[in-house]
Amino acid sequence: MKATRRALAALLLPAPVFAQARPRVVVVGGGFGGATAARSLHRAGIATTLVEASATYTACPFSNAVIAGLRGMAAQRFGYDALRAEGITVVHQRATGVDATARRVTLVDGTTLPFDRALLSPGIEIRFDGLPGYDEAAAEVMPHAWQAGPQTELLAAQLRDMPDGGTVVMVVPPNPYRCPPGPYERASLIAHFLKSRKPRSKLLVLDAKDVFSKQRLFEAAWASLYPDTLEYVPLAMGGRVTEVDPKSRRVTTDFGTQDGAVVNVIPPQRAGAIAQLAGVADRSGWCPVDPASFESRLVPGVHVIGDAIIAGAMPKSAFAANAQARVAAAAMVALLAGRAVQAPKLLNTCYSLVAPEYGISVAGVYQPANGLLTDVSGAGGTSPLEAPAGVRAAEARYAEDWFATITADVFG
């Protein structure tokens, strides 16, 4: 039976449709984008190598619940065994270069991996030159927790250990950055933590913007759930932080200074390091791509997806990276087979928790127009401003369900 099944599997593997030998694609970055792309390419008959420095992936979605003590860190961790078992070559090394002319990726140990096309899913890196006073050492005192892992656990521990009666300060950056509604979900869940565990404490959110994702929904929820805990200061009210001092855990705004018992600084970001090394990032630090094929506008033959790209209306989210991975993989298969790339449509859905059992969402449908991904008019939008508790509970349940589905899809 096993042999039969294997024979059947062999039969079902994609037939050779490529004129020459089996094309090779190297995928760099094993997050929601890269791991999805590797699976899609492999399943389409491409010889696929996934390069990812870390043997364990730590997911950002739901990491705000870890920070607020609502969830264990183990639920955020995923490995690559299933990808390997499927036949994908997974290399746990850092990529140090992408040579699009010679068509090879170089790894930190000097190994080179040849490719016909490459796909980068670099995620973000923190710009330690982006906010005066905020360097790598400062991040150990004032964690960003914007890349899930030790930083998430550090911020969770600081909140857990802080004495009641203190002020937590959150510093929120200008656009663009990973996960547009993320800071506001985090503010909500930290406020929930303080209200239920350290009720004499306050949360001060200092924002470099006046307008943000799901704003009316967040602000309505804050007014009803956390009126005595959470204070939000937008740009117009002096919310922009211009400097931080880790020694005194002090932040400076246009209007004054503020000390925090815990300070969470979400700093400016740019595309992950390999994007800069490969030359696919422009002067903004992000990567311009063709919105149908996700091929770099700067380096032909190299495709880029996920948080690292300039995607127009499509946000930097795990859902978007997963969606872009599928579309980019299909485009790469078409290009490698000498076929035209079809005009795609892509979905995005982002859930946020403002409290346990209280979820809200934003959704969108996107298509290429004027060289970017743009909203399909009439579609998308946020959860209704007025809704019964049952709808909020359903969206919280769907948020959990989405996470279970996407992580099973990507890593399971």
Partner 1 sequence: MRAFALALLMAAPAFAAEEAPPGASTCLGCHSPVRADAAIPPLRGRDAAAVAAAMREFREGTRPATLMDRLARGFTEEESQAIAAWIVR
Q: Which is nearer to partner 1, 116 or 245 (CB)?
A: 116
Tell me the closest approach of the beta carbon of residue 353 to partner 1, in angstroms: 14
Tell me the closest approach of the beta carbon of residue 329 to partner 1, in angstroms: 7
Tell me the closest approach of the beta carbon of residue 328 to partner 1, in angstroms: 11
Q: Which is nearer to partner 1, 369 or 391 (CB)?
A: 391
Tell me the closest approach of the beta carbon of residue 247 to partner 1, in angstroms: 44
Closest CA to 240 of 254, 229, 256: 254
Token readout for 386 is 């007025």
DSSP assignment of 213-252, as one string?
A: TTHHHHHHHHHHH-TTTEEEE-GGGT--EEEEETTTTEEE
Please name the amino acid found at residue 121.
S
| C-alpha 349: how far from chain center | 13
Q: Which is nearer to partner 1, 203 or 289 (CB)?
A: 289
Q: Which is nearer to partner 1, 35 or 208 (CB)?
A: 35
Q: Which is nearer to partner 1, 207 or 395 (CB)?
A: 395
State the Cα–Cα distance between residues 27 and 328, nearest whole angstrom.
Answer: 12
* Helix orientation angle between 318-336 and 389-411, rounded to the nearest 10 degrees: 40
Tell me the closest approach of the beta carbon of residue 360 to partner 1, in angstroms: 10
Quick one: residue 279, left, alpha or beta (phi over 0 = left, psi -120 to 50 = alpha)?
left
* Helix orientation angle between 182-197 and 215-225, rounded to the nearest 10 degrees: 10
Closest CA to 292 of 337, 329, 338: 329
Tell me the closest approach of the beta carbon of residue 196 to partner 1, in angstroms: 26
State the Cα–Cα distance between residues 175 and 182, nearest whole angstrom.
Answer: 12
Q: Which is nearer to partner 1, 281 or 396 (CB)?
A: 396
Q: Which is nearer to partner 1, 41 or 91 (CB)?
A: 41
Q: Which residues bind partner 1 (CB under 8 A)?
A: 4, 8, 11-12, 14-15, 17, 40, 43-45, 319, 322-323, 326-327, 329-330, 333-334, 337, 342-347, 349, 361, 363-365, 367, 376, 378-381, 383, 391, 394-395, 397-398, 400-402, 404-406, 408-409, 412
Q: Do 125 and 273 form a contact (C-beta atoms < 8 A)?
A: yes
DSSP assignment of 263-315, as one string?
A: EEE---EEE-HHHHHHT---TTSSEEB-TTT-BBSSSTTEEE-GGGEE-TTS-
Tell me the closest approach of the beta carbon of residue 375 to partner 1, in angstroms: 9
Identify any residues that bridge with 236 across adjacent strands, giving them in sequence order.
none
Q: Which is nearer to partner 1, 370 or 377 (CB)?
A: 377
Q: Which is nearer to partner 1, 98 or 304 (CB)?
A: 304
Closest CA to 366 of 357, 376, 358, 356: 376
Cβ neighbours around 328 below 10 Å, total: 32
Q: Which is nearer to partner 1, 11 or 211 (CB)?
A: 11
Instruction: Please name the helix (run of DSSP H) or strand (run of DSSP E) that holds residue 25, with its range, or none.
Output: strand 24-28
State the Cα–Cα distance between residues 163 and 197, nearest whole angstrom.
Answer: 10
Cβ neighbours around 9 below 10 Å, total: 9
